[in-house]
Amino acid sequence: MNCDVFNPQTHLCAYQPHLFAVLVFFFPTLISIFLPRRWREAQTTPGGERLENLLTPAHKQRRTFLESFVEKTKLKSKQTPKPKPKAKTFTQLHFVPDQTTLRTCPLCALSYIKGAPDDEALHKGHCARVQKGMEWGRDEEKEMLKAGVVEVASGVKLKNGSKGRIICFKADVGGKIGSKLTTLLSTINIALSAPALTPSILQTSKAYLFLTPSLTSTLREKIVGCVIAQQISTAMAIATPAECISACEPEPSPSSDGPTPSPTSKLVAVDTTSGIFCHPAALPTPLGIPRLFVSSTHRRQGVASKLLSAAAETFIYGCPLDPRKGQVAFTQPTGDGSAVMHRWGGGGVRIYEE
């Protein structure tokens, strides 16, 4: 049986190349550990760089773990491609000559440009206010005493059986109630295609609002009708159909071959489409109605007549006015406003210039 006897000289010679490589690799580290600090400081340049790095090529220089990690991170960041910026999306417009983008809403009669965000947002808010009215909530209730709001009538019954109340306040009021009235008047002016009321008109006017209970909250109400009552001095009497016909008759003259005169030769034309003509004489009239509006879902329920009657009875304290006697006047009314004017006023309502 052959047994190999351990020979130190033979085994050490076999591993000598490996030991030499290990010693060479760890020699700088051992030197830095066991040699004095002064000698270690002497091995560096004034700039802090090691002398061995100055004598060794850059790709063979020894690096600390932190330096290697930072270098690898930089290489990865360089190799990682930067995300490309997202391409902008464009909207292509198709112009069709036989189709227009102008739309007229059948519910609120407002014309707007379809596809324009500002126009569509304006139409959305306006259409909701025209149909359902505006809210009257707790914020407005808290300011009623401060703003001088007076409840003119309560428990007012409409034709559909619902009840509401009528409040009144100065048209130039400030605060949240004034802001609410400004928004309401803006909606009314757009719906009627009327100009905004001037501050001088608002200073001599009162606002009458018809409020009904809200269906969604017991603490809120809906403004379903509005009348602006203005203090005026004179107005013109509306000519009857017989007076319009007589105004068209030619005056007796030697030669009757001339053209037939129109009503405007003797009367003032207010609305030729509805046939409203007035006598030019200015008559004393204390009350004018520049704005009258009822939300579309509450029309033909008697809201307008209730508001007008409340304004005629309370506009001048202790002196109710009678429209049949020509004490109330309207500005140029629309088709619906003209029907309300004749039905409520009984033919005695006058017309004045705003």
The least confident of 45-49, 169-173, 209-213, 349-353 is 45-49
**Residue 238 within any structural domain of the chain:** yes
Q: What is the pLDDT of residues 240-270, one digit of tens each?
A: 888 877 777 665 555 555 555 556 667 888 8
Residue 92: how many other CB atoms lie within 10 Å = 4
Q: Name the domain count of the chain.
A: 1
**Residue 331 within any structural domain of the chain:** yes
Give the torsion sign (CA, 119, 121, 126, 127).
Answer: positive
User: Which range of residues forms the domain containing residue 333?
Assistant: 111-248+262-351
Q: pTM above the 0.85 mark?
A: no
Q: What is the pLDDT of residue 1?
A: 47
Give the DSSP letter string of 159-191.
TTS-EEEEEEEETT--HHHHHHHHHHHHHHHHH
Q: What is the pLDDT of residues 29-60, one digit of tens each?
A: 665 555 555 555 555 555 555 555 545 555 55
**Residue 29 within any structural domain of the chain:** no
**Residue 203 within any structural domain of the chain:** yes
**Residue 293 within any structural domain of the chain:** yes
Averaged over 336-348, what is the pLDDT?
A: 85
**Residue 105 within any structural domain of the chain:** no
The residues with which 112 forms a beta bridge, in sequence order, are 103
* Residues 248, 234 contacting (CB under 8 angstroms): no
**Residue 56 within any structural domain of the chain:** no
Collapsing DSSP to helix, strand or coil, 237 comes out as strand
The overall longest dimension of the chain from CA atoms, in Å, is 169
Q: What is the pLDDT of residue 66?
A: 56
Q: How confident is the model at residue 235 (pLDDT cuts 50, 70, 90)?
A: very high
Which residue in 179, 166, 183 sits closest to 139, CA to CA?
179
**Residue 241 within any structural domain of the chain:** yes
Q: Is the pLDDT of residue 339 over 70?
A: yes
For residue 329, give the H/E element and its range: strand 328-330
User: Which CATH number characterizes residue 213's domain?
Assistant: 3.40.630.30
Averaged over 215-232, what is the pLDDT?
A: 89
